[in-house]
Chain A
């Protein structure tokens, strides 16, 4: 974990509610699947946002405007600075990917899969990606994943773009391992529908974001884990779903 000041270089809308913020700063130690915790003016707790990509001193965050914190972020412009805690969470373990990893993202669960896809492609893996959204106008990053050389399938719940249905409607037959991030109902569906082992990235309301307050604990097969510190990525075999 590190506390650093980043400077915004770009902050643009991708859809009506999802924005891309690009920042420069000390990115040392940031790993794929981790998140940053952002201090915002007049708001008490930091806001945790997943890392979409990190290369050199450039950090990319995709976020959806859902409340006061993200609304404040959306109003920021290039040149402004943000106080970030970086290097938070365990991140995805790439070593288990096998030759044909499958990445499954839903809505704002899509962003953390981008850096993972890029790194798996750099390792020469055949990466399949399923991106799930509700409607065509909510779709983002389809082209960006394609540009990495991934085999991309988009699903929309209303069928207005790509395959009609949820991400599970587009599961391929042949994949070596999977990584997923998205809303909990989607994660549960993926858990049931997948044939291999895999890693799930979870979301929870957090206090600190670095393991001190026990605000985001969850039960797992072996006891409990803090989503912020021991997660947000959990292995399929350790997950205990709430009743």
Chain B
């Protein structure tokens, strides 16, 4: 066990760095550039019961220190993910992977999670109750403690692997939702998903994104993410995975001080495909600079 190692829901990881779902595909594009086995793990492209094309384009908008996306959960559906993507993934990634799941009804979530739970490569199930992109979709589950808890109970009833619930920041009281998920049996919480945002093109006077609104991510949201990770980590007794604008090794340490056991990296991967590789490489020197012997010792260590 190295000084970067952490344990997330009983699974040992070489380091806490996890590329976030939707920014890393199924890993192949990045495997062309570096050995992705250096990662703690990664959370693969959000998977649903049925195939989805997603939203019309444009789906992307530039922002100051960030971006908005409204991809709309484009994915080939759980059966194709199992039949085609996971066997392909096996050739370039040999660690337990995090399976990210979205749904549009409680049975949808249970169906998809039950199937992925049986896959040997899957280490954790990350249940996205927070995607803000789909009209009438995941959003409603993540904005109500009762609805989020209902999803967790349904998923836990049909799975054996750790279930991490990915929460939306677009709520009044994220702590109440996190606590409801914990009480319903969640093994971990990950947060934050993107903040609902919008840009308008001055020339056309139309929204930049075809779907009008989308999820705002990138360094601009980092302080919001640190705050919410801190609030949730101090309110629950299950591990928290922190994410939102993480771009450097220093950001990883800050998230962990706020209470994160592991840290996901999203938008940064799209700008610099080596972002996670650099963070992992930089972590030992940054830890030395701040007198940190082992990362696992600083989780929630904010004074």
Contacts and interface: CB of A to CB of B under 8 A. Distances in A.
A224 B273 contact: no
Interface in B45-63: 45, 53-54, 56-63
Contacts of A205: 57-61, 208
Interface string B68-85: 010100100000000000
B271 A214 contact: no
B204 interface: no
Contact of B60 (A1, A85, A215, A224): A215
Nearest to B71: A214
A204 B23 contact: no
Interface in B21-67: 22-25, 29-30, 32-33, 45, 53-54, 56-67
Given A39-B271, A208-B270, A224-B53, A214 B74 contact: yes
B207 to A, nearest CB: 12
B269 interface: yes
B259 interface: no
A204 B58 contact: yes
Given A210-B29, A224-B53, A224-B74, A216 B59 contact: yes
B29 A216 contact: no
A161 B109 CA distance: 61
A207 B25 contact: no
Interface residues on A, range: 20 to 34
25 contacts: A1-B33, A1-B273, A43-B62, A44-B62, A44-B63, A44-B65, A45-B67, A46-B271, A204-B58, A205-B58, A205-B59, A206-B60, A207-B69, A212-B24, A212-B30, A212-B273, A213-B22, A214-B25, A214-B71, A214-B74, A216-B57, A216-B59, A217-B54, A217-B57, A229-B29
Interface of B: 22-25, 29-30, 32-33, 45, 53-54, 56-67, 69, 71, 74, 208, 218-219, 267, 269-274
Given A1-B32, A3-B33, A214-B45, 16 more contacts: A39-B271, A39-B272, A44-B219, A44-B267, A46-B271, A85-B273, A208-B269, A211-B25, A212-B23, A213-B22, A213-B60, A213-B71, A214-B59, A215-B60, A216-B60, A217-B74
Interface of A: 1, 3, 39, 43-46, 85, 204-208, 210-219, 224, 229, 242
